[in-house]
A and B are shown apart, each in its own frame.
Chain A
Amino acid sequence: MRSYKILEYALTSLLRRPGKTFAILLVYMLMIAVLASVLFLTQSLKSEATTMLAAGPELIVQKTLAGRHELIPVAAVDLLTAIPGVKEVKPRVWGYYYDALVEANYTLQAFDPTDDTLTLLDGRLPQGEEECAIGSGVAAIRRVALEDDLILIDHDNIGRIFTVTGVFKTDSDLLTQDLIVVPAGPLRQFFGMPESLATDLAVSVYNPSEIETIANKIKRIMPDSRPITQRELLRTYHAVFDWRGGMMLALFSSALLAFCILAWDKATGLSAGERREIGILKAIGWDTGDVLLLKLYEGLALSLLAFLGGLLIAFLLVFFWGAPLLGEVLRGWSVLFPALKPTPFIDMYQVATLAFLTIVPYVASTIIPAWRAAIADPDDVMRG
């Protein structure tokens, strides 16, 4: 009953100082919202990347020349298929295209009927030589829809016309936003890529635990190749998102610092009114423990409310409103950003860390000055 009464008094105390309470709540909530947004977005992008790569090939083999990516001979397919444990080797034809008209980069990929990661939002997959399916980002930036013509300049600087037969969608658009899929033949012609060459080889294996062994064997058989496992790709993606998230957190750490200064300012002194109130409570029979409990409840109520409010704002910002501003920094270098609608994914460890780093200092900054006042004689406290 005593705790409940003191809790009630703590809540009414906060409401008795609406200006101060609201100001602290606002600053605290905004800081949590910003920091949590970065964490949520980084984590969900990593989660998206994991999902996306899980559906891709287990192993990609590229040819390198002077340390750079080169086109790989299709003849290598037979060489790799002969390695025990290899299930299938498929040459992939794809490349990048810079669209000077809208200053955007696209990924052009040959149509693979067995690729089930691409889901059409509308229309059908390309069949004819002059047909293509495009990502929703390409459709938006070039303002083309189904049955419209998409003109791209090929390697001979000649305009090629493709009719849009479909628009892609995936859960996050991370994969298909900047994608243009055309049949393999026309794509080779477009890039000027000989039939004997491919961009890379996609290798699938019978036993995923043997993937590292097979990658080593490929490296031995083809010394100028670079086998990239799905795990390595995932690690790279995670490292990139972690780096970008880290950069943003470093920037926003100034917000955290400002908050700490606010907390320190609070910790180093009480207002005359607050000191007087503690003196009165002590004089009428509250002991130090009662006063500290009161301040603990005040600090916890305010910080928990602000923390949960900040998390809610961050959740809505990232998972419902597509992380405006933050998304552009975290997603990539292209001007054609994926229209991100990431699947909600929250790392509770990160949330707990954020809670610990913000709630604990705030509550401490509420309790310490109150403790200093509460251990003094009430007469001294009221005299100031």
Chain B
Amino acid sequence: MSPLIITDDVRKTYHLNQADATEAVACISLQIDAGEVVVLKGPSGSGKTSLLSLIGCMSRPTSGRIIVAGEEVSRLPERFLTLVRRRTFGFVFQQYQLIPDLSVHDNVMLPLYPEALGLAAMQQRVALALADVEMDSFAGRRVAHLSGGQQQRVAIARALVNRPQVLIADEPTAHLDSRLSIELLQRLTVLKQAGLTLIIATHDPMVCDHTLVDRVITLHDGRLVGEGGA
């Protein structure tokens, strides 16, 4: 079986050809199989978030190739890249990146807007996604009025509502206490059991050492410096 995601000598430099050019990712090659749980580990500024963005088609590499489900996406036109992003990936951002003035329900529904779905089907998917993260009773509540843990659950529901193959989570435990972190890891375990591929960027040992993790990739200054089982 071919890997779901391949990065081939991928490099990402911000402010290219400028005095303040920063190489965030340097020559990284890796493969991630479908259903695998991979942790990207490393200190702040090691390039974890940049690599997640590249894998999730949120940005393009300066050089190198990224292949998702057999298709090279690094040079795809924007429209098709968006389609790959929408169909393949769900994102849980470090700061959740929810729209604070919208309700929980409307935030979760946003990824479905570009899809050719009827309103009833959309409502049904949103209800299911919210039920999965036990936030269905908060559907009408404005996101700004929720706690950090609740916001993260909404972010997970939004990431899953499009039924992606891969869930990408950036520092998912950064704003959670230990009880909520355990709860999150249990939730991620359920997703793994459901066959979802998980790519998690973190420097939290509780995540790195968890049994759900298949592989830990260590980054430093944008380079891959270590790889092994949890």
Contact = CB atoms under 8 A, between A and B. Distances in A.
> What is the predominant secondary structure among interface residues of chain A facing chain B?
helix
A377 B119 CA distance: 29
A335 interface: no
A2 B78 contact: no
Interface stretch (B33-41, B64-72, B106-114, B207-215): B106-114
Contacts of A289: 79
A191 B118 CA distance: 84
B11 interface: no
Contact of B114 (A277, A290, A378, A380): A290
Given A1-B118, A277-B99, A382-B97, A284 B111 contact: yes
Contacts of B105: none
A243 interface: no
Contacts of B60: 377
B82 interface: yes
B78 A287 contact: yes
A220 interface: no
Contacts of A285: 82, 85-86, 111, 114, 162
B125 interface: no
A143 interface: no
B101 interface: yes
Interface string A249-292: 00000000000000000000000000011011111111111100
A16 B102 contact: yes
Interface in B30-86: 50, 53, 58-60, 78-79, 82-83, 85-86
Interface in A343-384: 375, 377-380, 382
B158 A284 contact: yes
A380 B12 CA distance: 12
A140 B113 CA distance: 65
A280 B113 contact: no
Contacts of B98: 280
Nearest to B106: A12
Contact of B113 (A9, A16, A377, A382): A9
Contact of A377 (B59, B83, B101, B116): B59
Given A290-B114, A377-B59, A280 B79 contact: no
A68 interface: no
A176 to B, nearest CB: 59
Interface residues of A, number: 27
A288 B113 CA distance: 13
A52 interface: no
A382 B50 CA distance: 12
A379 B53 contact: yes
B110 A281 contact: yes
Contacts of A290: 113-114
Contacts of B117: 1
A6 interface: yes
Interface in A1-47: 1-2, 5-6, 9, 12, 16
B125 to A, nearest CB: 13
B66 to A, nearest CB: 13
B82 A280 contact: no
Interface in A93-150: none
A378 B59 CA distance: 7
A288 B78 contact: yes
Contacts of A277: 99
Contacts of B78: 287-288, 375
A150 B162 CA distance: 87
A380 B58 CA distance: 8
B97 A287 contact: no
A283 B111 CA distance: 9
B114 A1 contact: no
Contacts of A286: 82, 110, 113-114
B222 to A, nearest CB: 15
B113 A6 contact: yes
B179 to A, nearest CB: 28
Contacts of B99: 277, 280
Contact of A282 (B82, B101, B115): B82
A274 to B, nearest CB: 11
B121 to A, nearest CB: 10
- Give the residue among A281, A290, A378 with the most B Cβ atoms within 10 A: A378
B82 A287 contact: yes
Interface in B90-107: 91, 93, 97-99, 101-102, 106
Given A284-B158, A288-B78, 16 more contacts: A2-B113, A5-B119, A277-B99, A280-B97, A280-B110, A281-B110, A284-B86, A285-B111, A285-B114, A286-B114, A288-B79, A289-B79, A377-B53, A377-B59, A379-B58, A382-B93
13 contacts: A1-B118, A9-B110, A12-B102, A16-B101, A16-B102, A280-B97, A282-B82, A283-B97, A284-B110, A288-B82, A379-B50, A379-B59, A382-B93
Which 8 A-B residue pairs are closest in the complex by CB-CB distance? A285-B86, A379-B59, A287-B82, A379-B53, A377-B59, A379-B58, A16-B101, A284-B111
